[in-house]
Structure 1
Amino acid sequence: MIKTFAIVVLLSMIYTPSIANDDTRELVKLPEIMQNHMLSNMRNHLVTINEILAHMTNNELGKAGELAEQRLGMSSLGLHNAKHMAKFMPEGMQQTGTSMHKAASRFALKAEEGELAPAYKALQEITSACVACHSAYRIH
């Protein structure tokens, strides 16, 4: 049940139908190749969160934490070419992205402690950063 709810919430963050004229989010113009790369990264983030939830459902907090750090945490920035992407982003978008990566690293540490409730709270910090960014910015 929690897994299904989380998937619905995460998908709604990525796809929110609206008329372009009514969309008040800041448009971040990126070269097409960078836009495609960013969209691919965000899809990977969503898949990763889904896999984290699956591990948590199976009480595999260690695996959830490892996955979070490897694919979302601060140690994943090279994987996402974050430095290369950052120069195209407004400062607020950069800060929100960094806060998501830091939250993922904090989640990894919390998950290693083995307690579900604090781990879920830490996971919510990750998704809150996603919501904040998707609420403020758009790339098309």
Structure 2
Amino acid sequence: MRRAFALACLVCAPTVFAAEDGRTLAPLTPAAQATLRDEMLGNLRALNELITLVADGKLAEAAVVADTELGFGAMGRNRSLPMDARPGPQMPQAMHRMGIDGHQAASRFAEAAKAGDQALALRRLGELTTTCVACHHAWRTR
């Protein structure tokens, strides 16, 4: 009986959580959703790399990753895709603004890391992750 109840909870849980999702829907095409999902997974990998590099005291290397993978250097990487696969132009303006804020936060982190200021880089790394959390708590694509 316990097993059956536990199994029922696991099966029903996604439906219950989906019904309680209070985030705003960003109506993107399926192709743009796939592009955005791939981009977010890449961002997560880059963020993990940043944390590892900072922990190892490799601030200059962390700055390069931040610049190329998350900061202003990463903006526009979807320009060559067909319009229906480009998430940026399809995003609500407020969501797009939050994305730009994230790129700016990554570039500010990179500046501090390039300067070798570990304390400031750590503060700015926290600011970067705050932009990620804020956006993911505010928006959903399905």
Q: TM-score, normalised by structure 2?
A: 0.81
- The aligned residue for residue 111 of structure 2 is 109
Q: 1:25 touches 1:138 (CA, 8 Å); kept in 2?
A: yes
> For the aligned residues, what is the CA RMSD?
1.8
- Please say which structure displays the higher CA radius of gyration: 2
Figure out how many residues of one structure are paired with residues of the other and give that number.
124
- The aligned residue for residue 68 of structure 1 is 66
Q: Find out whether 1:95 has 2:126 as its counterpart.
A: no
1:1-80 superposed matches below 5 A? 19-80=17-78
Query: Separation in 1 of the partners of 2:46 and 2:135?
Result: 18
Q: Aligned-pair distance for 1:129?
A: 0.7
Q: Aligned-pair distance for 1:78?
A: 2.3
Identity %: 34
CA deviation map 1:22-69 (0-9, x unaligned)? 111011121111101100000000000101111111100000001100
Q: 1:25 touches 1:137 (CA, 8 Å); kept in 2?
A: yes
Query: Separation in 2 of the partners of 1:115 and 1:53?
Result: 15
Q: Look up the equivalent residue of 1:34 and give its one-letter code.
A: A
Structure 1: unaligned runs, 5 residues or longer: 1-16
Q: 1:104 touches 1:123 (CA, 8 Å); kept in 2?
A: yes
Q: 2:32 touches 2:87 (CA, 8 Å); kept in 1?
A: yes
Q: 1:73 touches 1:105 (CA, 8 Å); kept in 2?
A: yes
Structure 2: unaligned runs, 5 residues or longer: 1-13
Query: Separation in 2 of the partners of 1:78 and 1:30?
Result: 17
Q: TM-score, normalised by structure 1?
A: 0.82
- The aligned residue for residue 132 of structure 1 is 134
- The aligned residue for residue 85 of structure 1 is 87
